């Protein structure tokens, strides 16, 4: 394997992650199929190549072995519930197995189901904004971003209102797993994730049994019906119900924070939205394109193949750089400019992936961000970043981008 080694392009170095946009540009221009010695992985960065890789069946989504390697010092016998969760969830499957597992949740994200959820999204958003509006300032992460997605997915699943705060607590170890940094006690983290998985499995298992006998209009009842139609096991049903909660908490939380930060850094764009509320939908797409909460999406090479003359061996980790693809000038004009009026295919961004594994909750995430943005613009017309309390980004982590705190005032 002969590849050029260009240390300045190594995206896993913390100092390179504060503002990675120049590196994305260098990757696309200089080394679009890049091997990183530090990450021991390939990075694909041009838009057309990322799309092709999303479609390529030679790249597998089954990453179970990576988790097992990550927790090798813990031992599989210490985390049986978490391993069962990983084995059952749709995001770890390919081909027909993935299709069958995805069918469990599909009906909860149809256009009709999402339309039916809109009143609840508006209500939950309004309640959150009601709490903070009189204060004149807040931490977006604490008061909005970390609250809205898990409350919405809990509503969709039909979780009783008094229990929803528990879901936020149970989801936290999964959030920490996504954002761990060097020095993290992985053994302690693995045991916390195992404990949370057991708690979620036990709670959801009892709810599922109730819904089998008394189904409702909620997503969990639809998943039970789909389970009966597909013959999926109870373990697969539980794994994908937990996945929906976890995925709706982590990536959506960071995406809300990232998008609002980028918007408020550009007061001229805020003014455009205030003058023309019809721009909100395109603003949401720009917030998604500009700074994805998941900049790189991992695949494993199921067989050896070549891309632009580079040989990618079987078993290699391949990171599809959606954040770099979202800034590809062959697709987006002036890609490094944040523009809520962007008209050059705003939904062409790859923030939610592409192809059979595209994010199932993409349109719900769009609705959440749009509803929140509309509420903030209407009820907090002076909304701006709080200069007295600068934003605090999460510890550099090339897999996830977000904020520990994002203070604003109005």
pLDDT at 144 over 60: yes
pLDDT digits (tens, 9 = 90+) for 284-340: 999 999 999 999 999 999 999 999 999 999 999 999 999 999 999 999 999 999 999
Longest dimension (CA), the chain: 61
What mean pLDDT, rounded, does the chain reach?
Answer: 90
pLDDT band at residue 375, thresholds of 50, 70 and 90?
A: very high
pLDDT for the residue 8: 47
DSSP string covering 375-388, please? HHHHH-TT-EE-TT
pTM, rounded to two decimals: 0.92
In the chain, % of residues over pLDDT 70: 95
Superfamily of domain 63-295+359-409: Cytochrome P450 (1.10.630.10)
| Torsion sign (Cα): 255, 260, 261, 265 | positive
pLDDT for the residue 7: 45
pLDDT for the residue 346: 63
CA distance 361 to 249: 11
Quick one: tokens of 182?
């060097």
pLDDT at 2 over 80: no
pLDDT for the residue 12: 65
pLDDT at 1 over 50: no
Point out which residues pair with 300 in neighbouring strands: 60, 317
pLDDT at 30 over 50: yes
pLDDT digits (tens, 9 = 90+) for 95-118: 888 888 898 888 788 899 899 999
Domain ranges of the chain: 63-295+359-409
Q: Which long-range contacts (CB under 8 A, 24 or more apart) does 194-202 make?
A: 194/78, 194/79, 194/80, 194/81, 194/82, 196/170, 196/171, 196/172, 197/79, 197/81, 197/82, 197/85, 197/242, 198/81, 199/170, 200/167, 200/170, 200/242, 200/245, 201/81, 201/85, 201/238, 201/242
């Amino acid at each position: 394997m002969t590849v050029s080694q260009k240390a300045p392009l190594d995206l896993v170095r913390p100092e390179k992650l504060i503002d990675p946009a120049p590196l994305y540009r260098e990757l696309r221009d200089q080394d679009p199929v890049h091997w990183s010695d530090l990450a021991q992985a390939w990075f694909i960065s041009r838009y057309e190549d990322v799309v092709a890789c999303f479609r390529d069946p030679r790249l597998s989504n089954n990453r179970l072995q990576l988790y097992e390697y990550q927790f090798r010092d813990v031992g599989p016998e210490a985390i049986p519930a978490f391993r069962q969760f990983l084995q059952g969830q749709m995001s770890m499957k390919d081909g027909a197995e993935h299709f069958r597992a995805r069918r469990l949740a599909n009906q909860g994200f149809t256009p009709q189901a999402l339309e039916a959820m809109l009143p609840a999204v508006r209500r939950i958003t309004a309640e959150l904004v009601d709490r903070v509006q009189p204060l004149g300032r807040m931490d977006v992460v604490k008061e909005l971003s970390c609250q809205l997605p898990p409350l919405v997915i809990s509503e969709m699943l039909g979780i009783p209102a008094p229990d929803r705060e528990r879901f936020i607590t149970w989801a936290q170890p999964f959030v920490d797993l996504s954002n761990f940094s060097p020095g993290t006690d992985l053994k302690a983290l693995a045991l916390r994730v195992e404990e949370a998985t057991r708690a979620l499995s036990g709670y959801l298992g009892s709810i599922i049994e109730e819904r089998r006998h008394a189904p409702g209009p909620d997503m969990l009842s639809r998943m039970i019906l789909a389970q009966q139609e597909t013959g999926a096991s109870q373990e697969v049903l539980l794994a994908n119900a937990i996945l929906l909660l976890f995925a709706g908490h982590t990536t959506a939380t960071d995406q809300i924070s990232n998008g609002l930060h980028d918007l408020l850094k550009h007061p001229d764009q805020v003014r455009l939205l205030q003058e023309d509320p019809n721009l909100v939908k395109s603003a949401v797409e720009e917030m998604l394109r500009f700074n994805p909460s998941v900049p790189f999406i991992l695949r494993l090479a199921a067989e050896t193949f070549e891309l632009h003359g580079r040989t990618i061996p079987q078993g290699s980790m391949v990171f599809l750089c959606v954040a770099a693809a979202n800034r590809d000038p062959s697709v987006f004009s002036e890609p490094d400019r944040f523009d809520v009026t962007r008209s050059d295919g705003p939904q062409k961004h790859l923030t939610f992936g592409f192809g059979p594994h595209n994010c199932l909750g993409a349109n719900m995430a769009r609705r959440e961000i749009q509803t929140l943005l509309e509420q903030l613009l209407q009820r907090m017309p002076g909304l701006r970043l709080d200069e007295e309390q600068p934003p605090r980004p999460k510890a550099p982590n090339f897999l996830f981008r977000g904020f520990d705190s994002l203070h604003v005032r109005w």
